[in-house]
Amino acid sequence: MLKDLLKPLIGPLVRALRPPQPDLPLATWRLTRTPEGVLALDGLRLDELLDRHGSPLHVVDATRLAQNVADFLAVPPGAARGCEIAYSLKTNPVPGVLDHLRRLGVGAEAGSAYELHLALALGFDPAVIVYDGPAKSPASLRQAIAREIGLVNFNSRCEIAPFAAIARELGRRPRVGLRAVVPGGWGGQFGERIDTGAALRAFEEALSAPELRVVALHAHLGGEIAGAPRLRGFVAQVLAFSDELSRKLGLDVEILDLGGSLACPTVRSLHPLETRLNGTFGAGVAPRAKDSVLSIRDAVGIIVSMVAEHHRRAGRRAPRILLEPGRALTGDAQMLLTRVVNVHDPIDDLTHAVLDVGMCAASPLPNEVHQLFLVGPPRSGPRVRTRLVGPICSPADVVYASRDLPPLAPGDALAIMDSGAYFVPFASAFSFPRPGIVMVEGSRDRVLRRPETFAHMMALDELAPRPSAPAPRPQLARINSWGGR
């Protein structure tokens, strides 16, 4: 094929134009190297964590979690108050992580009936639980009303009447909000659009239901908010709609729920062209530039100042500000450790290294830039263009299409950074058990989730009763006869 003939000629040119980029410093994730050169977190060697708990393994950094929470809850200089946060449980629904966040003063944003159950089971104060999502079951709505959770956000106008009927039946008057979609934000099944008037009509209907206390305006931009201009534009659109609610319906909301979407500072999405150039020609892929993403404190400062100044000029009391962070809170507080199973001889200058983790446990990797480090001591000498693949018998199980790495050998341990957003919830048991999870806190490690076993993978399956006498095995007999043909 022409493509195969051109690759050896074009590849070196593409790699020269797009060379590998330097890794971000280890200190970005609080990692250090021991005197022997082994990666460590809070003094704990990562290779020893793998030896104790098995590979692959997620490692949660409790200190980074606490710092991120403190940044979200910090009151900006000169402000009367800051933001309240309800963590997006779907981002990393690990009970041990969520319980740690609860003890740090974080609320819970539940996007499904299970997540609502999980928040209540873990002991979150119902007053700090927000129930969102496009498909709330009647049973979960009854539970939300009965437990008096802090806020139920309607995702569409058609939710209002059935919810009001349940509230009337239970004799309660729950606190509710409605998700409004700003121009350019996620639409479709998410919320009611502002520009068509649908959001205003939905608020009007909710206000007409005496069973409901309409207290919140909910908006979630979707995608990623990395810079100040995008954040300011989004908040300005929401504030403009809150003015319309005040002017036309006489509603001054108590809570401005601005959702999530704040970027993780060390992860970025891959452009399709980057993906193709990297996979086909080995072009370098750059990590996100240092300081190119709003810090949590800067984002909170922008939001608080905009809301306060807007309401000061309007002569209205500023509402409470609620954020529903996900990846910005937990993304960079977790890593995924894996070991090399085997290494194949190079083909067309590309070595294939098989890992014990693949797309079933790390599905975001083909679409995002995540830093990768050798856990063992650094190796000198020339680097090798390497494709890191998973253990599944599928050519689609590619973790990193092309990375320039030191020569790898079976048993080598690697650290995939920033696995704290969507790695765990998107994981599947595709012929391989899902990884265990540990937390490192104060130079100690503790298990949050044991690694899945084969028994776990079969636990919900039912088999037909086995006959008392062995059944005939004609197929085996035919197989055994092949040799005589």
Q: CATH number for the domain including 201?
A: 3.20.20.10
The β-bridge relationship of strands 84-88 and 107-110 is parallel
Q: What is the pLDDT of residue 6?
A: 58
- Report which of 310, 322, 176 is spatially closest to residue 257, judged by C-alpha positions: 322
My answer on whether 320 and 355 are in the same domain is no
Establish if 467 belongs to a structural domain: no
Is 51 in the same domain as 161? no
Amino acid at 323: L
Both 136 and 184 in one domain: the answer is yes
**Is residue 469 situated within a structural domain?**
no
Do 352 and 426 fall within a single domain?
Answer: yes
Domain boundaries, position 312: 74-325
CA torsion angle 407 410 416 422 (round to 10): 140
Q: Under the phi-then-psi rule, with left for phi > 0, alpha for psi from -120 to 50, and beta for the rest, what region is 394? A: beta
* CATH number for 413: 2.40.37.10
Residues 259, 323: contact at Cβ < 8 Å? yes
- With beta carbons less than 8 A apart as the criterion, state whether 374 and 405 touch: yes
Locate the DSSP E strands across 315-443.
Answer: 320-323, 334-343, 351-355, 368-369, 372-374, 384-389, 398-405, 413-417, 436-441
Are residues 380 and 304 part of one domain? no
Show the low-confidence residues of the chain (pLDDT under 50): 479, 484-485
Number of structural domains the chain divides into: 2
Tell the burial category of 131 from Cβ atoms under 10 Å away from its Cβ (0-12, 13-18, 19+): buried
The answer to whether position 477 is within a domain reads: no
Residue 47 shares a structural domain with residue 127: no
* Structural domain includes residue 226: yes
Domain finish residue from 310, 325, 340: 325
- Do 220 and 305 belong together in one domain? yes
| Interval 358-398: pLDDT, tens | 999 999 998 999 999 999 999 888 889 999 999 998 988 99
Which contacts of 189-192 are long-range, i.e. CB under 8 A and separated by 24 or more positions? 189/134, 189/155, 189/156, 190/134, 190/155, 190/220, 190/222, 191/155, 191/156, 191/218, 191/219, 191/220, 192/156, 192/157
**In a shared domain, residues 78 and 43:** no
Q: What is the pLDDT of residue 82?
A: 96
Contact 256/319 with Cβ under 8 angstroms?
yes
The residue from 325, 341, 361 where one domain ends is: 325
> Do 386 and 454 belong together in one domain?
yes
Same domain, 208 and 298: yes
pTM of the model: 0.91
The CA-atom distances, in angstroms, between 356 and each of 54, 394, 479 are: 11, 14, 32
Q: What is the pLDDT of residue 485?
A: 43
Asked if residue 479 is part of any domain, the answer here is no
The reply to whether 379 and 260 lie within a common domain is: no
Of 268, 296, 325, the one marking the end of a domain is 325
Contact by Cβ (8 Å): 64, 100: no
- Quote the tokens at residue 398: 């590619």
* Cβ density class 364-376: b for 16+ within 10 Å, e for less: bbbebbbbbbbbb
So what's the pLDDT on residue 451? 96
Q: Is 183 found in the same domain as 134?
A: yes
- Structural domain contains residue 69: no
Domain membership of residue 345 (yes or no) is: yes
Residue 280 lies in a domain: yes
